[in-house]
Structure 1
């Protein structure tokens, strides 16, 4: 059975807060997810600038940071897209901006509702 994006996020939150989180842990989950949702649009905007600017070193560093943020909250599919960008940049190749930004947008559209739902449950 294939794991869903929701499964991945919930498993990661259980890693952070335990299987039966109390009020403090639930608040932490909500804050972590809200922080990711608040910061990611700016991060993706910067990613777009770097993809279009063609600087592999800066792109690699930024994609690495974005990958870490996505991984930290369990958005594994989104993290994989950032990892691909990072790897390309590490190899000195700036991937096609439209293709990569399209993939990022698609993953965001799939995972953000899951994150919103889990954040609301932990408000």
Structure 2
């Protein structure tokens, strides 16, 4: 059974700060999430340009970086999309930009509200 996006995020945050984070730890987690939410859209915009440009090396590197940042906060489903892009580029293939960006947008629409809600829990 697939875990919910909230479970993915909460499990990762528990790895970082434990099951019962202090107020300071909760504030730090909120800042980490907000940083991700602030930077990820721009990173995806850059990935879109790279996908359309067709340079497999740049696509691979950028998808790898996006995968890492999504993994760091537990957005595992989103990270899996970036991993697929990275692997395709490593194999010398740039995925279809429109299809790929649609998949990313769908995943963002599911995980961003979870992240936004969790980020405000320590406020």
The TM-score, its normalising length taken from structure 2, stands at: 0.98
Paired with 1:47 and 1:18, the residues of 2 have a C-alpha distance of 33
Match of 1:29 in 2: 29
Paired with 1:39 and 1:29, the residues of 2 have a C-alpha distance of 15
Structural RMSD (CA): 0.7
Paired with 2:100 and 2:76, the residues of 1 have a C-alpha distance of 16
Match of 1:12 in 2: 12
Give the C-alpha shift of residue 36 in structure 1: 0.2
1:39 aligns with 2:39: yes
Q: Structure 1: give runs of 5+ residues left out of the alignment.
A: none
Q: Deviations over 1:93-115 (max 9, x none)?
A: 00000000000000000000000
How do residues 91-102 of structure 1 correspond to structure 2 at under 5 angstroms?
Answer: 91-102=91-102
Match of 1:118 in 2: 118
Q: Structure 2: give runs of 5+ residues left out of the alignment.
A: none
Give the C-alpha shift of residue 2 in structure 1: 3.4
Match of 1:88 in 2: 88
- After TM superposition, what 4+ stretches of structure 1 lie above 6 angstroms from structure 2? none
Paired with 2:77 and 2:2, the residues of 1 have a C-alpha distance of 13
How many residues get paired? 123
Q: Deviations over 1:57-106 (max 9, x none)?
A: 00000000000000000000000000000000001100000000000000
The TM-score, its normalising length taken from structure 1, stands at: 0.98
